[in-house]
Structure 1
C-alpha cells in the first residue's frame, strides 16, 4: 500500500484516490484544503505512483484488480484511524469509479 497522511482529524477522515495515469501526489490540494479539520489520506491506486505494479494476471481485468487492492487498503486505513469519526472517500475520475465500487460492495466500511 502506498499513501501519504496529513492533517488534523477534528471533524473526520478524508481518503482520496486519483485518476488513471496519475498518483496520490496529484491530490495534494485536497490535503491543503481539508488538512486543518480532517486527517487526509492520499492513496496511490495499484499500478500507480509508489504502489505495486499490476501483474500480468491482474492486467487481464485491471479494474477488478485495482478495486480489490483498494478495498484492502481502505480497510487497513479505516481500521488504523481514530474511531468514531466520519470517513469520506472520494476519487477523481477512475479513482471515483473505484471508490464507488468498493463502497457499494463494503457498506460496513
Structure 2
C-alpha cells in the first residue's frame, strides 16, 4: 500500500523526504518548502495518518519500509531526509537501515528513546476519541499546545487536517496508530550511522532530546554532526521558521 505524498517546491530540485510527527501530516512542512522553493519536497502522510493507509502494522520498521518505498516509487537513489518528532525517529531508523539512501539527515527535536512512563501516560491520554463541536473549538484546543505558532499556520492546520466525524469534527489520524507510535518512541534510542552528515536541532523549551543521546551521536558521527539548539517549543519549525530555514540552508549548502 502506497503512502499519500504531498509534493511541494521544484519538481526538478534536490529531493527532500520530510517526515512529520505523531498526529501530524505531510503538509505541515509547507512553511519550510515555501522558504526553500528550489528543493523538491516529498512530504508523505505516514501510515496511520492523513490520507495514507491506516492499517497496521505501525512499528518503526514498517514506517521505514513505507518511506523507502516512496523513494523507490519516485526513482530516487537518495534524498535529504528531514524528520520532526516521531518522524525524527523514523528518519534515524531509516538512516541505520539504508544509509546509502540518505544524503543528509536533519532531525527536528526528534522523539527517540523517550521515558516509557511518559509514553504510557501519552498513550493513555490518546486512547479516548478527541472530537470537537466545530472548527473553532478545534482551533482553540490546538492553540493551547501550539502557543507560539502563527495564526496563519493554525488556520492552515484546520483546513488541512480537520475532518467531519459524524456530527462533530476530529483530526485526520488513526488513534490506534498513534498509541502504537508512543510505544515505538519508548524503544531504546538509535543514533545516525557514521558517515551520514546530520543536523540536529533540539527545541530548547522541551526535553525530548536528552544530553546522553546527543553525546552518543557525537561519538558515532564526530565532525559529521552539527547541533544547534532552537529557542522554541516542540513545533520549532513552525514557531521559528526563519531560524530553522537558515540552519537548514547552511547545512545543505555545506
Shorter-chain TM-score range: 0.7 to 0.9
Q: Could you say if the C-alpha distance between residues 14 and 69 of structure 1 is closer, same or farther in structure 2, counting changes exceeding 3 Å? A: same
Q: What TM-score do the two structures reach when normalised by structure 1?
A: 0.73
Q: What TM-score do the two structures reach when normalised by structure 2?
A: 0.35
Shift in Å, 1:83: 5.9
Supply the distance in 1 between the matched residues of 2:32 and 2:43 (Cα, whole angstroms): 8
Shift in Å, 1:78: 2.8
Asked if the contact 2:5–2:45 (Cα under 8 Å) also holds between the matched residues in 1, the reply is yes
- Identify the match of residue 22 of structure 2 among 16, 20, 23: 20
Higher strand share: 1
Asked if the contact 1:6–1:40 (Cα under 8 Å) also holds between the matched residues in 2, the reply is yes
User: Which of 1 and 2 has greater Rg?
Assistant: 2
Q: Please, what is the CA RMSD of the aligned residues?
A: 2.3
The higher-RCO structure (CA 8 Å, 6+ apart) is 1
Supply the distance in 1 between the matched residues of 2:13 and 2:42 (Cα, whole angstroms): 14
Supply the distance in 2 between the matched residues of 1:78 and 1:21 (Cα, whole angstroms): 23
How many pairs are equivalent?
Answer: 99
Alignment of 1:17-56 (within 5 A): 17-35=19-37, 37-55=38-56
- Identify the match of residue 96 of structure 1 among 88, 107, 127: 88
SS in 1 for 2:49: coil
Asked if the contact 1:34–1:40 (Cα under 8 Å) also holds between the matched residues in 2, the reply is no
Supply the distance in 1 between the matched residues of 2:48 and 2:95 (Cα, whole angstroms): 20
Q: Deviations over 1:7-33 (max 9, x none)?
A: 225651111011111111222112212
Q: Deviations over 1:47-103 (max 9, x none)?
A: 011111133xx2xxx3xx3x334433433433454768x621011100011111111
- Identify the match of residue 68 of structure 2 among 55, 75, 78: 75
SS in 2 for 1:29: helix
SS in 1 for 2:81: strand
- Identify the match of residue 87 of structure 1 among 76, 79, 89: 79
Q: Could you say if the C-alpha distance between residues 7 and 103 of structure 1 is closer, same or farther in structure 2, counting changes exceeding 3 Å? A: same
Q: Which stretches in structure 2 are left out of the alignment for 5+ residues? A: 102-254
Q: Which stretches in structure 1 are left out of the alignment for 5+ residues? A: none
Supply the distance in 2 between the matched residues of 1:7 and 1:51 (Cα, whole angstroms): 21
SS in 2 for 1:49: coil
